[in-house]
A = this chain, B = another copy of it.
């Protein structure tokens, strides 16, 4: 800490909102493995990808070299509606924990979508609009991504078709209603409206759906409807690129006060938030300019980094998407029904998977009861009701801070607070009522899913 007193919340000026996204791949010695054509097992070409994704996004997806991508003015304008997001010094939490550690969090929940997902949603919607498309399709699980995309599409006047995992559709009618407020159409998945949906329903009658299945439906509709493309809220390189706005802002704010984090912590499902938050810090690390401990936190019930394998796998259940090399639990893995938070995707961003495999970051997993304990403590001390997803990072940050208390070290901890939990009160209720369990898949279960991974040379 410098002499200059650090406020509770560091807000940058609007003029300090990043004007370029930072592409961490440019600084990676080992690039993430390319997406493969599921039929030929050859790297997907730009032309092949353009059937599914918008052209500019395909270019971003494949570009491992360009370090900075200028953010188009229209996206910058939209960012001004809810950015810069605050970097908060967690004075109240530090006091509560009686830790000598300094804790900071980058809070991305102060927008109606309730999470960081909006950063990429507006970018993807913008490029779809620029290409003259009529609309986009996507899937959503907990609903944060669907909400974010609906907001972005409403702003730009694009049509938005969302396939929502059926169990979420039924348990989160309010999320659905927010998307409707933004003019999106929301279909519970699996549905009878697609071939793959009908196939899955026939094979698994009464299924409550999964992310992988909703992806397959959304891709089928995008490919089969003129003027439509598919967009995805996590995992992809392009998404991490857009989300770098989180990290670049956070680093600018810390630099202003001469603060250098020792540990950077983020929750990790598909990796969009973590990848974005760490990008400029990881860049320095890759270039040998600085060193940071970087920690991914995942649910013990969906442990792709800590218990998965690094291999090519399908991104979706219907196997219509390209293959990606990533830490994965297998494309038909679904977390136990009692798993309450998000972060339920079977695989991890190829970029993060490569960085993890190269030993450039760590990963831990936490059981959900501890996550909700951390969430409640955080809500009561910092005043923000966190999303279950974000609370994984809170949990790990508290653990680090308590270690500092024991050792007396005055470390600086930075974590990503990705969103708010207003639409997750059913999970909080379970926790309050003691109806939450900490089921963790056994080694035998994981081995079964792993045995079904595609064989790629």
Contacts and interface: CB of A to CB of B under 8 A. Distances in A.
A295 interface: no
Interface stretch (A174-182, A229-237, A238-246, A438-446): A174-182
A383 B151 contact: yes
Contacts of A385: 112, 178, 181
Nearest to A427: B177
Most buried by B among A14, A181, A376: A181
Q: Determine the interface band of chain A, counting residues with CB < 8 A from chain B.
A: 35 or more
Interface string A175-216: 001101111000000000000000000000000000000000
Given A8-B81, A80-B8, A81-B8, A112 B381 contact: no
A154 interface: yes
Contacts of A432: 177, 180-181
Interface string A128-148: 000000000000000000000
A429 B425 CA distance: 19
A276 to B, nearest CB: 20
A111 to B, nearest CB: 6
Given A174-B422, A429-B173, A182 B81 contact: no
B154 A380 contact: yes
B379 A181 contact: yes
Given A7-B14, A8-B14, A9-B80, A428 B383 contact: no
A22 to B, nearest CB: 23
Contact of A425 (B11, B155, B173, B382): B173
Interface in A8-42: 8-9, 11, 13-14
Contacts of A426: 174
A11 B11 contact: yes
B11 A383 contact: no
A385 to B, nearest CB: 4
A110 B110 contact: yes
Nearest to A422: B422
Most buried by B among A112, A178, A180, A423: A112
Given A8-B81, A81-B383, A173-B425, 15 more contacts: A7-B80, A8-B14, A81-B382, A110-B110, A111-B384, A112-B420, A151-B380, A173-B429, A177-B432, A178-B425, A178-B428, A180-B432, A181-B376, A181-B380, A183-B380
The 7 closest A-B pairs by CB, nearest first: A174-B425, A8-B80, A422-B422, A177-B425, A154-B380, A7-B14, A112-B385
29 contacts: A7-B13, A7-B14, A8-B14, A9-B80, A81-B383, A82-B383, A92-B155, A110-B110, A111-B383, A112-B379, A112-B384, A112-B385, A114-B422, A151-B383, A154-B379, A155-B381, A173-B425, A173-B429, A174-B174, A174-B426, A177-B425, A177-B428, A177-B432, A178-B422, A181-B379, A181-B380, A181-B428, A183-B380, A422-B422
